[in-house]
Amino acid sequence: MSGCEATALETNAEERARAGLKRGADTLDARGEADVLRRLNGGMFMVPRRLIAANAWLGHIPFAGWLVEVARPRILVELGVHRGASYFAFCQAVQESGVRAFCYGVDTWRGDKHAGEYGEDVYQDVVAYNARHYVDFSALLRCDFDEALAQFEDGTIDVLHIDGLHTYDAVRHDFLAWKRKLSPRGVVLFHDTVCRHLDFGVWRFWREISAEYPSFEFRHSYGLGVLLVGEEPASALAEIAACTEERRIHLDRLFAALGARIVALAEVAQREAEAAAAARRFEDAEEGRRLAQARCEALEASLQERTRRIAALQAEMAAAGEAASAASAAVAVAEREAALALVQERDAALAMCERALADVHRSHSWRITAPLRAASRWLRGLT
């Protein structure tokens, strides 16, 4: 996504938020408008630094910012932190408002059947983020909710957010177990109060418990129930709990519009992250292509060099073959010449012998001794 597109989406989110504020204010009567406007604070417009896309709690972050400034908790506890979308929104609101509060996030970080199971990397990411931004007033407790009870004195928790396993029995157990830890100003938040799929049972418990205490509920973003358990709640919370249903609907619309802005910003951030990831993948692919091209060029050069060497060797072999053929021919000629010389030498020797023999036969002594040779032959014949 381009920077212009991201800016446009963010601007649209701002415009929707302002339009929602105007609609909410315009539909109130004079008294209701005065009550709401008197309770506005900067926390409602807080933009969370940690935006986790597709998180069901994003739409309630404006209320979290508003609540911290109104309730001014001394101790805030969240049961079920997961990736920290809501918890770090509370921490940011504490930090930006200057409220002297200490925050605790409790979770096993192993997941459950509703949140799903997840790896150690989720916990490590949450720990690292907390250490970078909120370590001065925020602590993460990695344990079961019941195990964390011993870490808090009774009557000390001003804001308790229950967002663990969402079955009826689990939510009921968490509330009853932690109820004694709430202060006289104690406020309890229940998320997913309108979610009825699978075995979610928060809606059922909320229907029961909201009849016993002053309360109000936001219907957007899967629902958020606000239960005033303490006897001394902040006056702004008490006023909302006591106002008419019509005014609560207008208030819900107000915070829903603000929440829609946060959701839109998260979508923008996600698309920007996806675009950046796609750009990195493209750069990696381009680098891979360049490396492959360079490798191909190197292989081509190597092939050409080998082809040249093969041609040179073939030429050398052809030259050697011609030389060998010439040498063989020379050897054959020499052998023939040597044989001819031997024949000629033999013929010359025979001719010489024949001449010598002829000379003997013609000699005087040969003629004189002829009778003697004849007698010798006659005597050999008698024997």
Output 270 or 32, whichever has higher pLDDT.
270
**In the predicted model, what is the mean pLDDT of residues 248-269?**
91
Per-residue model confidence (pLDDT) at position 292: 83
**Radius of gyration over every alpha carbon of the chain, rounded to an integer in angstroms:** 54
**Over 80: is that where the pLDDT of 157 sits?**
yes
Cα end-to-end distance, the chain, whole Å: 138
* Residue entry with tokens 């025979």: 350
Please check the confidence at residue 228 and state whether its pLDDT lies above 60.
yes
**For strand 224-228 and strand 182-191, is the pairing parallel, antiparallel, or unpaired?**
antiparallel
DSSP string, 299-330: HHHHHHHHHHHHHHHHHHHHHHHHHHHHHHHH
Residue 271: per-residue pLDDT: 87
Q: Per-residue pLDDT averaged across 119-145, rounded? A: 96
User: In terms of C-beta density within 10 A (0-12 exposed, 13-18 middle, 19 or more buried), how is residue 45 classed?
Assistant: middle
Asked if pLDDT for residue 149 goes beyond 60, the answer is: yes
The tens digit of pLDDT for each residue in 66-97 reads 999 999 999 999 999 999 999 999 999 999 99
224 phi, psi to nearest 5 deg? -140, 115
Query: What average pLDDT does this structure show over 19-36?
Result: 45
354 vs 7, residue with greater confidence: 354
DSSP string, 194-261: T--STT--HHHHHHHHTTTS-EEEE-STT-EEEEE-SSS--HHHHHHHHS-HHHHHHHHHHHHHHHHH
Segments making up each domain of the chain, as ranges: 40-242
Question: Which pLDDT score, from 0 to 100, does residue 13 have?
Answer: 44
Dihedral sign, Cα of residue 371, residue 372, residue 377, residue 378: positive
Name 74's Cβ contacts closer than 8 Å, sequence gap at least 6: 100, 101, 102, 156, 158, 183
pLDDT mean over 45-67: 92
* Residues 47 and 14: beta-carbon distance below 8 Å: no
* 0.95 exceeded by pTM: no
pLDDT, tens digit (0-9, with 9 covering 90-100), for 176-208: 999 999 999 999 999 999 999 888 999 999 999
Work out the pLDDT band at 38, boundaries 50, 70, 90: low
Q: What pLDDT score was predicted for residue 22?
A: 45
Which residues neighbour 3 within 8 Å (Cβ) at sequence distance 6 or greater?
none
For domain 40-242, the CATH class is alpha beta
Q: Is residue 303 scored above 50 in pLDDT?
A: yes
pLDDT class of 114 with cuts at 50, 70, 90: low
